[in-house]
Structure 1
């Protein structure tokens, strides 16, 4: 049973997550170093990645049931995992 719960995290594709983030998240968040502008009141993805409590799994679950300020994007579990993997790849 535990292996079934971990399989989406192992299959996460950070490259696909980057594409999804640029399409869906870049209007509010700075999603990569080449982006110059986004909303001032939301953290850039690099700041999210470098939080001391960051975990891709926790973020993926958050994305499936986002905070009320976030738009309601109908993400699949795989898409949420891919975006979380991309954000995790920005961790320094």
Structure 2
């Protein structure tokens, strides 16, 4: 029984730790905006506060977010392997999630 009690305590501790850490794992739209201004603003209009001029022939992040059928998960997949005209950004999965969450937030 002692082994079972230890296992239960360990399992509950892991469960509570995971629950406490989960909110920190959520995508961060604010960080996504910072990254978008750094990596994407040379071509895209990414924010109303943007200082640089975007290229007129590419969609703004506002337009992307409002496209019919916009899907944050599909955008994350795209950003993991972007089109050839985009710079090699070498973004982490967390950074990709943050940018996707930021773009998604523009549709609200």
Measured in 2, the distance between the counterparts of 1:75 and 1:63 equals 8
Higher helix share: 2
Look at both structures and tell me which one has the larger radius of gyration over its CA atoms. Answer: 2
Alpha-carbon distance in 1 for matches of 2:39, 2:105: 18
Q: Is residue 44 of structure 2 the alignment partner of residue 29 of structure 1?
A: yes
Q: Distance in 2 between matches of 1:38 and 1:51?
A: 19
Distance, in Å, in 1 between the alignment partners of 2:50 and 2:90 is: 24
CA shift, 1:16, in A, is 0.5
Q: Which runs of 5+ in 2 are unaligned?
A: 1-21
Q: Any idea what the Cα deviations from partners look like across 1:2-49, whole Å, max 9, x if unmatched?
A: xxxxx8xx6111010011001111111000123362112210000000
CA RMSD of aligned residues (A): 1.6
Offset of residue 64 of structure 1: 0.6
Q: Which has the higher contact order (CA 8 A, sep 6+)?
A: 1
Runs of 4 or more above 2 Å deviation: none
TM-score normalised by length of structure 2: 0.72
1:42 matches 2:54: no
Per the alignment, residue 69 of structure 1 pairs with 85
Matched, 1:88 2:99: no
